[in-house]
Structure 1
């Protein structure tokens, strides 16, 4: 119970920080969204040309650095990698396609519900369904194989890149592109956003907070530890939204969201299925990358490229709804996920689930 109290308090802090970041300038119901923030960063780096979503988000940088700093000083930092890197890249790519169909990652899905956006219910249902599909393959022996110890230098590279990105951001470098309108132009002050990311990164590293892991562990092991953290985010963010007057209950006219329930559902099936095969949600991948996991870095690069691809080829949804190209992409993702899950499964035994798949 003492251990669970820690993740509940940590989740509540993240939920409140997400609302505070909205108060300070982030888009509504988007205090923290890993998928949206990686997409914005991709735009700022010039990887896509959607002018309304281009900004290097300090929250992402802070989460990586927070996980790096605390894991280093707790002597938990360890460089490792080499576990099916290209498949992980592809899974990260597809998770982003699914998330941008829904317009949010699992974290934003919870924050949208906390703000009264009932479209998030379709996303939650789809996300859980995707995780259940993934669990079926875990029980059949799905594995991306073991990883291998790498040099410490390799583990340091990703945090250093994030530090460099933040320096470019605060110096208003001409290298980066910044939105002049739209969601990309809406953000909390950079240093405060970095601090929010750092705090969130430390909390996630110490508690192993992961929504995919929460649902997976509840189903497989009847363990409610991880899911309690996301329930705490939901409750705390709802209370915070009430205090700031941000709650707007309903389906229509929600910020940066659409009302197509079917494609909200299917998009998050893809995100949930892909995430459980990877062993963690997008937020968890950031934390693992900060701890020195190169496989998670490869996954994040897949998400970055997926975000750029989604906007360059009109796959991402908008408040008007999903695009025809996006619908086709989601169906192709189902096919690709099915092939990956099938060919990487080796038996019906579930005795190695915790050993073969990194528990979030």
Structure 2
């Protein structure tokens, strides 16, 4: 229990911060959502034209910079990359397609569940199913191959871009697009959102917090270390929502959610399968990128492209439900994952690899 204390405390902090971010202006059940915030930031930069989801989210910037600064200070910053970069970009794209079908990343899934949104329970079942499917390929020897030491500037690139985005968020020049209505117009003050992101980045870096890793390790090794962090997030977010009156139990009329159970399940199943192949959920990819992992930075770029593509071509779901284009995209996503999973099995491997790919 002693070794779990740190990750439980980290989960408690993230849960409390998520509720406070809603209190200070973020949309309900969206105190923190990596997929949603990447989508909003892509929109603010003009990469898509969905008017209701365009805002540079300081939380994302803070998570990257928090992980970057704490890894530098603890001498854990290591610049590595070169592990199937283009496939990782594609997998990042697929993760975003699945997440935007569900309307949230794994972190938001937990936050939605703690707010009483039972659609998130359906999403959780799908997410676990997708991870279970991915594990079957890990056990057969799936691998995206090893990574290699890279030049220092490779590792500094994404943190420097994050600083540039922060400057744009503060200065807000005319070419930055900001939503005047909808979720993009609902946000906590910049300094509060940035501070919360920095804290989340530090906490997640020190504890290796990862929803995909938690469910994967629970299934493969009966290890509850990582999943205990997300249980703590759920518990403390639930308490905060009950105190502040944000809790609303049910399927209907939930904040930025739809009640189509089949596509909530399939969207998160797609995101779960792709994430387990990548070795971590969207939050974990941000943290790894902050630590100097160039492969994770490329995955994030894939998510940015996926977010832009999803809204430009009407793949993303909305409160009214999934689109026809989105359903087709999810099905194609499963086919893509099947091909990537099958053709990256190392035939000579005859032992079980924990996680299949590099997580740390």
Where does the alignment leave 5 or more consecutive residues of structure 1 unmatched? Answer: none
CA contact (8 A) 2:143 2:357 kept: yes
CA contact (8 A) 1:18 1:237 kept: yes
Alpha-carbon RMSD across the aligned residues, in angstroms, is 1.0
Given the two structures, how large is their TM-score scaled by the length of structure 2? 0.98
CA distance in 1 between partners of 2:211 and 2:56 (Å): 24
CA shift for structure 1 position 261: 0.2
Question: What SS does the aligned partner of 1:276 have?
Answer: helix
1:224 aligns to 2:224 (yes or no): yes
CA contact (8 A) 1:99 1:271 kept: yes
CA contact (8 A) 2:279 2:355 kept: no
CA contact (8 A) 1:111 1:237 kept: yes
1:24 aligns to 2:57 (yes or no): no
Compared with structure 1, are the counterparts of its residues 355 and 244 closer, same or farther at alpha carbon in structure 2 (3 Å cutoff)? closer
2:351 is aligned to: 351
Question: What SS does the aligned partner of 2:49 have?
Answer: coil
CA shift for structure 1 position 136: 0.1
CA shift for structure 1 position 347: 3.3
CA contact (8 A) 2:42 2:304 kept: yes
2:202 is aligned to: 202
CA shift for structure 1 position 222: 1.1
CA contact (8 A) 2:126 2:266 kept: yes
CA distance in 2 between partners of 1:154 and 1:133 (Å): 33
1:44 is aligned to: 44
2:58 is aligned to: 58
1:119 aligns to 2:139 (yes or no): no
Matches within 5 A, 1:32-181: 32-181=32-181
CA shift for structure 1 position 359: 3.0
Question: What SS does the aligned partner of 2:17 have?
Answer: helix
CA distance in 1 between partners of 2:313 and 2:118 (Å): 28
CA contact (8 A) 2:138 2:355 kept: no
Deviations 1:198-245 (A, max 9, x none): 000000000000000000011111110000000000000000001110
Where does the alignment leave 5 or more consecutive residues of structure 2 unmatched? Answer: none
Question: What SS does the aligned partner of 2:131 have?
Answer: helix
1:264 is aligned to: 264
CA distance in 1 between partners of 2:11 and 2:352 (Å): 29
Matches within 5 A, 1:279-318: 279-318=279-318
Give the total of aligned pairs.
360
Give runs of ≥4 in structure 1 deviating > 4 Å.
Answer: none
